[in-house]
Structure 1
């Protein structure tokens, strides 16, 4: 009888063993300064995947990776700081990371900075001019609509320009005549110009368009603005930070 050497046989690794070995490799590479490994380890810690959930440790590894300009780590930290779900909201930290990302050409970072500056709070000064610059850097229809809104409704008069708000809104309306948000922006622009009859007519169109939309969450706000325009009052935006 021929006896085969024991080395000819191997025992397959279990899934648990494979995962444990992978975790050890990631931990080792992270400790050696590998930014990708640090990012992955940070995600594992904040989600509890393959390791015990540890938000403080997760933040540590994400910040370590971000300090090496790891873009995904920077965006994760910025989003977590902005959204305030896993960690307390910290707009100063969000602004810091989004600013660095925007310098790398991130449209998403510009978009989020636009909201941060348009609302302010948590140590960030509201600044309509900076908000418009950030939204303009994105350049899509939603962002340009936000610019038109700020031009029409910013509390600081030096940033308001009803003519530009109306012009931008009319251009955006060409691609969607029944968009309630664009109509709402246009009505606010007319009101800023002092053209309240046009503001009222346009706001009524916005309300009718909104009623056809699946989400009527803004109907009370739209109606409230209509009442202001009927009373010859322009609308001034004062909002908390919003997602």
Structure 2
């Protein structure tokens, strides 16, 4: 069962045809890049507006990484030659680690130094991005920490599609349950008996938490210690209390 953050529920009461009355509480949910809306029906009683928010995490399936490669030389050609050597060494080190194709943009060259900073030098840089499986997490960090002119720009935890969907369903069910319970408690406090759901407005966004990288390449890094992929969902719910 993936961990979930505490729920928050923010209710507002509205008497049909009268001014709005405010209360206080909210609930939160999961990550679908979707907006779903159910149009409200008529209410002959009191309308309770809730915003429900829920967040949760799931198991890491793989990691997306980005490496930065840098080189320098007295001329642009010399800087590019060194960059090509470092690029070849990095490609070889990633063989057997990276899943799928690598993305390597064209190199960028620029000048540095000169005047009081010493002789003018030419710099060249590029990057390599791709994905590795969960079990190659530490090996990737060791590669990035030990190759000259290579540094790890970032690692992002990724979940499998199955785990993402399972977490989304779990958070949605939990948010609807919390919204219903809050509406029933509010109705009881007002001496009302009937609770009917009028409207659902769902807004979700999947988020992947970036993984912080420690520069110490002398220890082992464990994938289970990396921040897990997280998702959030927000529902706006309207209930008719009568």
What's the TM-score, normalizing by structure 1?
Answer: 0.23
Give the TM-score normalised by the residue count of structure 2.
Answer: 0.23
Determine which structure has the larger helix proportion and give its number: 1
Structure with bigger RCO (C-alpha 8 Å, 6+ apart): 2
Instruction: Please identify which structure carries the higher strand content.
Output: 2
